[in-house]
Amino acid sequence: MVWSAGRFGFDLGPAAPVVVMGIVNVTPDSFSDGGQHIGLESALNHAERLISEGAAILDVGGESTRPGAPEVSVKEERARVLPVVAALAKRGYCVSIDTRKPEIMAEAIVAGASIVNDVMALTAPGALAACAASDVGVVLMHMQGQPRSMQAAPHYEDVVREVGDYLVDRAQACEAAGIAARRIVVDPGFGFGKTVAHNLTLTRGLGALVARGYPVLAGWSRKRTLGDLTGRSVASERVSASVAAALACVARGARIVRVHDVAATVDALKVWRVMGV
């Protein structure tokens, strides 16, 4: 099974190495590396480091979607991400744009992005059309509620079934809009309108999502549930926890992992590949 993402193709078959998507934050308020990479120069340096560590995809984001984060205007988000997307695409890298905004999707695609990664699964008016008009790959993520309020009182009758139903529904909406199945990846959206218990149930039940037929991306990196499980309140100290969570998802069939700590994850995946269950 090959994921088609612009001029890139990723083998997501069971025998292929897991694909690592490295996170390039261009936000001054991102919870895990607090504006460390604000500015073009530092974002590019960080991206080069992730590539040298083994990232196959660079996920560029300019809007923090952490719980309670302030909204970012199109103008501000554009100014943050487009120069980074353009420069990295020009260097030949596979660039993913992490955005909810159709305007930013369209502009990033023109600037050379090969993947649109949307925590709202292309539900914003115009988002499906922005992606359908090109040949980019898409990552459809599940979220319950909106970033500002999603952690207030998340509720599910059956989190695994409901997340799966939603993602299949969104994938079908993509296909109906002209985005071929080979371009689509789904993501349960750990931490997005989910309690610790929901996140754990989703992880243990990831095989049921994989069985729905679309390739699965897992994004556990440095998230708060890992802080709750380990007692680590500082996000950058959750590297080992993040690696363990990524492997828990890979063991159940996730074929792409979205991570801050590429070197640590790549090492673990190399060992998992020859020893894992």
Out of 99, 114, 117, 203, point to the residue binding ligand 7PJ (CB under 6 A).
Answer: 117
What are the φ/ψ torsions at residue 47 (nearest 5 degrees)?
-60, -45
Residue 258 a catalytic site member = yes
DSSP 73: -
Which tokens hold the place of 238?
A: 């959750």
Burial class of residue 117 (count of CB atoms within 10 Å of its CB; 0-12, 13-18, 19+) = buried
User: CA dist 51 to 13, 38, 94, 155, Å?
Assistant: 22, 18, 10, 38
For the bound state, the minimum distance from the C-beta of residue 212 to ligand 7PJ, rounded and expressed in Å, comes to 16
**22 near ligand 7PJ (CB under 6 A):** no
**190 near ligand 7PJ (CB under 6 A):** yes
Q: What b/e sequence results for 172-201 when a residue is b if at least 16 CB atoms lie within 10 Å of its CB, and e otherwise?
A: eebeeeebeeebbbbbbbbbbbbbeebbbb
For the bound state, the minimum distance from the C-beta of residue 275 to ligand 7PJ, rounded and expressed in Å, comes to 26
Which of the following is catalytic: 170, 222, 223, 255? 223
Instruction: Select 6 or 189, whichever has its Cβ closest to ligand 7PJ.
Output: 189
From 35-43, 155-163, 195-203, 217-225, give the range in contact with ligand 7PJ by CB under 6 A: 217-225
Residues between 148 and 177 that touch ligand 7PJ (CB under 6 A): none
Out of 38, 119, 122, 138, point to the residue binding ligand 7PJ (CB under 6 A).
Answer: 119
From 156-164, 193-201, 205-213, 216-224, give the range in contact with ligand 7PJ by CB under 6 A: 216-224
Residue 100 a catalytic site member = no
| Rounded CA separation 193/210 (Å) | 21
Number of residues forming the site for ligand 7PJ (CB under 6 A):
14
What are the φ/ψ torsions at residue 83 (nearest 5 degrees)?
-65, -35
Residues between 54 and 73 that touch ligand 7PJ (CB under 6 A): 65-66
- Per-residue mark of binding to ligand 7PJ, 77-116 (x: CB under 6 A): ---------------------x------------------
| Rounded CA separation 221/187 (Å) | 13
For the bound state, the minimum distance from the C-beta of residue 34 to ligand 7PJ, rounded and expressed in Å, comes to 13
For the bound state, the minimum distance from the C-beta of residue 5 to ligand 7PJ, rounded and expressed in Å, comes to 13
**Single-letter residue type at 16:** A
| Rounded CA separation 158/70 (Å) | 30
Burial class of residue 7 (count of CB atoms within 10 Å of its CB; 0-12, 13-18, 19+) = exposed
**Single-letter residue type at 95:** V
**258 near ligand 7PJ (CB under 6 A):** yes
Q: Which residue's CB atom is positioned nearest to ligand 7PJ?
A: 219
Q: 77 with 98: CB under 8 angstroms?
A: no
Q: Which residues bind ligand 7PJ (CB under 6 A)?
A: 65-66, 98, 117, 119, 139, 141, 187, 189-190, 217, 219, 223, 258
Catalytic machinery residues = 223, 258
